[in-house]
Chains A and B, each alone.
Chain A
């Protein structure tokens, strides 16, 4: 009896001590309460200890106590804001690890990426996730803004939140852009050269801004260091600051906006009331966030494994060689498209400034008190026009649009681009049979009878070469053209492929010639 009683005492005592520790760590939740929490059961004590956490714990005090049921409907928010911040955290974590392996100097930067790829287990995955996360953040930030615009959630008390959101859009774009240069490959180098040259268009201080960013007239060691520091110090700090403000406004001040129909629509009073009932942060919102995080992580991991998204790495940056078809990162294509439309200062600086001013001013320009789509036709249609314009301008920003390249250059560039892989690079090595393949002279099928299975890929490349050249002859771009594709054995496991097009222009014979070397290990299997 006595021993049993003692044991019970002891258990109680130990239980009490554990409970005390747990309460200290969880800022007031007991062990029982935690159990109830993860089981989705109601609170075990009164007053509700789950609310107390929001004042006693730092991490919880920045979280909302509750959201209104109606505002958490998936089709209203699409969780876009959540995923934007999810991507930000992914970027911070992967970025911190990547920093361990990276050296910001032109002679070492590219090598450090190569080492990451060849010597660090999961190095490629890390890089791929960081890159995919960056793309995701840009996409989700933009979508989040569009959603906010179309649901009219930027009005009245939320207008300052909108303003911080616009700032975050800019910060996100610049974060992504400043990271673009770091691998120091041709793609990065020229995309950033183009990007910064837009700043040059600014009147009066354009050159100075450009110089300040690049560190010298061309991007070199100083420029790389500046972009690196912007990318890992200044921009992340700016992002953390503005995200905090943005999030605090939403979580602690005005909450997520309710869909307009519950406020302005003809819904039954019961429905509207139901939409305003509270969903507590603990446990409902928190478990939902954890679930979404797991979902997001899976999506990222599947993206870089099963779906094969890979961060590109081209040849090392070469300031002497501008590859054809250089372009800005895709989220700046619209700006490149605008630059093709007119004067550099007007299109590169004045209009973008006006666009930013309009974005900032949206809540103040749009005085319409209604939020429903149907009650603000002008704002909605202008929004749709803006989205369309963005898409069309982005298309016009592509290097293929509106830039005149000679027909011969274009044909060869499309088959064998200077950077990245084209159809020629995808020909399996054993199909690269040495020989002279002459357009309209060589047979168009059965090009390599010595190979057991023939060479369908080589034939298809030669076929499209023939077709493109003949088209150009027919429309008069390459009069009397004589085009060959020459494949030579160059070295062990190395072939040399030459494209040569000779045509008549102004009674002169002109030649375009391009050589490329293809190694067995680089081609498709």
Chain B
């Protein structure tokens, strides 16, 4: 076999191998594109999570549970199921989120519950409307919020004063508290929105270098910088719930609603305090 023949034969063989590799690769193309799409969506959610905690969590809560008297919950069954119909929005959920995040809100749609931060109730976030974010970043935030859709619970908000309200006298006699009930309450009335790993409120759970809220409450009243009137840990916690502005933990702002004295019953507060005291 001459060299020319050999090279032609081998060349044909190589071309056949190349073609079959491409063919086999091609059989998986649909699957690969679908995988990449899922991967890209996952990346968008990750990016959105980071942006949400930097831009949105201060008002809407770290877990999107909302803050009564400030901003509505997003991690909320109502938000996903009925919100669009209530505001008569004609587009998709994603459009709604992107539009709201992009241009903000001049006035709140539910001023009694969630007045926002005044005017505008919600600032605009898209760079085209004077905000800090690019289009893709706004879309990532939307992807992150939409990822709550399947797991969101209905958030119920106590609106008016309740019977047997605890009031704002911190020396009041409280009934026996149930820590387990308090833990459930902490989620359903939205404490957890801010008081876990959060930029909004001091975290309750123990973390490296810092004890849990139960232990800190007792230490705090002995702190010379403390400006409240509590004499015991229980009183300190009660005071922090019903009169959050009396003493501010350093580095935090006064964002907590100040009407819990009216909306929480004595038993509820007792349960909450019992729960918090277990967090050493």
Contacts and interface: CB of A to CB of B under 8 A. Distances in A.
B11 A315 contact: no
Given A283-B4, A284-B3, A491-B148, A122 B29 contact: yes
B29 A521 contact: no
A217 to B, nearest CB: 18
Nearest to A511: B209
Interface stretch (B37-45, B113-121, B162-170, B182-190): B37-45
B33 A438 contact: no
A315 B53 CA distance: 18
Contacts of A121: 26, 29-30, 33
B42 A521 contact: yes
Interface in A34-84: 38-40
Interface stretch (A112-120, A345-353, A465-473): A112-120
B148 A492 contact: yes
B18 A494 contact: no
Contacts of B151: 491-492
A502 B37 CA distance: 39
B46 A517 contact: yes
A288 B7 contact: yes
A482 B208 contact: yes
Nearest to A523: B42
Contacts, number: 138
A284 B14 contact: no
A107 B133 CA distance: 13
A494 B208 contact: no
A121 B31 CA distance: 10
Nearest to A520: B42
Contacts of B134: 107, 316
Nearest to A482: B208
A301 interface: yes
Contacts of A515: 50, 53
Interface in A107-152: 107, 110-111, 114, 117-125
B32 interface: yes
Contacts of A40: 2-5
B8 A305 contact: no
Contacts of A496: 49, 197
A204 B21 CA distance: 54
A243 B14 CA distance: 28
B17 interface: yes
B223 to A, nearest CB: 17
A458 interface: no
Interface residues of B, number: 47
A490 B26 contact: no
A301 B18 contact: yes
- Of the listed residues B7, B50, B150, the one surrounded by the most CB atoms of chain A closer than 10 A to its CB is B7
A117 B18 contact: no
Interface stretch (A25-33, A252-260, A291-299, A324-332): A291-299
B4 A315 contact: no
Nearest to B48: A517
Contact of A301 (B22, B47, B208): B22
B15 A294 contact: yes
B136 interface: yes
A27 to B, nearest CB: 20
A475 B236 CA distance: 44
Contacts of B5: 39-40
5 contacts: A40-B2, A283-B4, A287-B7, A516-B50, A522-B46
Given A107-B134, A492-B151, 12 more contacts: A40-B4, A297-B18, A315-B43, A315-B47, A436-B207, A484-B208, A490-B49, A491-B147, A493-B45, A515-B53, A517-B46, A521-B42
Interface of B: 2-5, 7-8, 10-12, 14-15, 17-18, 21-22, 25-26, 29-30, 32-33, 36-43, 45-47, 49-50, 53, 134-136, 144, 147-148, 150-151, 197, 207-209
Interface of A: 38-40, 107, 110-111, 114, 117-125, 283-284, 287-288, 290-291, 293-295, 297-298, 301-302, 305-306, 315-316, 436, 438, 482, 484, 486, 488, 490-494, 496, 498, 500, 502, 509, 515-522
